[in-house]
Homo-oligomer: A and B are copies of this chain.
Amino acid sequence: MIMKNWREKLQNLDTAEISDALDACGIEGALLKIKPAASSVKLVGEAFTVQYAPYEAQPTEYKNAGDYIDEVPAGAVVVLDNQGREDCTTWGDILTQVSLAKGIAGTVIYGAIRDVALIRELRYPVFSKNIYMRSGKNRVHKIAQQCPLNIEGIVINPGDIIVGDDNGVLVIPRAHLDEVIQKAENIKRTEQAIINSVKNGEKLSIARKLFRYDQPWLSKDTTV
């Protein structure tokens, strides 16, 4: 149903090009307020979703926040919605080490993470709203997994495609993946043609007209 080499193709596209392709399809996919834990780290993979919520009553014994990592397949991206909470963490050193050992592609937390020194050292791709050290244990817990999430108004379904880089994170609905990749590749070619033209002395307003910046997602001859 989706093209075979989508991972390789998305590795060669950045979130700006993909976001413009989403715009061309009329789809909102950018996740506001979620930032990379390290610079120059790229994330591509299918979402494995996890929903967290606060405990309604304080647990009387020491409770792990949620078991799910053993079920996450290699190549997937853990997308965990802790409702944007900045005051307790739901990702840290153990989960990072387990994820690397299992070949999990990376992690997106709508909430906070800890052990960021290790995460940066190991170059494991993590994106989150905050960095802190106070644990989510006994404060929040898993209420569902592989369910739809809603992060800052964007719906993320299990199997949707997640891409992250220095600009932030976005989600591509699985059914639109091929169309988004094709448009993003055309956008990349259009922008590169404009940049080359300007470097050769053309005015930007002229270069934009020459290479149809009004429709950058169309396939075109950029060898003019």
| Chain B residue with the shortest CB-CB distance to A23 | B135
Question: Per a CB cutoff under 8 Å, which of B19, B35, B67, B203 touches A134?
Answer: B19
- Interface of A, secondary structure class, is mixed
Asked if residues A205 and B67 are in contact (CB atoms below 8 Å), the reply is yes
Q: How many residues of A contact B (CB 8 A)?
A: 60
Copies of this chain held together in the complex: 3
Contacting B at CB under 8 A, from A20-44, are 20, 23-24, 30, 32, 35, 39-40
| Cα–Cα distance between A118 and B170 once the two chains are bound (Å) | 19
Docked pose: A213 CA to B191 CA in angstroms: 52
Whether B32 lies near A87 (C-beta < 8 A) is: yes
Contact present for B214 and A30 (CB under 8 Å): no
Q: How far, in Å, is A67 (CB) from chain B's closest CB?
A: 5
10 tightest A-B CB contacts, nearest first: A133-B167, A15-B133, A30-B134, A117-B166, A19-B133, A16-B133, A16-B114, A70-B203, A97-B195, A114-B167
Instruction: Tell me the A residues contacting B by CB distance below 8 Å.
Output: 14-16, 18-20, 23-24, 30, 32, 35, 39-40, 61-64, 67, 69-70, 86-87, 89, 92-95, 97-98, 101, 114-117, 120, 131-135, 137-138, 165-168, 170, 191, 194-195, 198-199, 203-205, 208, 213-216
Contacts of A95 in B (CB 8 A): 204
Given contacts A93-B195, A205-B67, contact A214 B98 (CB under 8 A): no
CB pair B168–A131 under 8 Å, yes or no, is yes
Contacts of A62 in B (CB 8 A): 24, 214-216
Structural contact, B204 and A167, CB atoms closer than 8 A: no
Q: Which of A24, A98, A199 has the most chain B CB within a 10 Å cutoff?
A: A98
Whole-angstrom distance between the Cβ of A41 and the nearest chain B Cβ = 10
Q: Which residues of B contact A86 (CB under 8 A)?
A: 32
Query: Which of A61, A69, A115, A191 has most B Cβ within 10 Å?
Result: A115
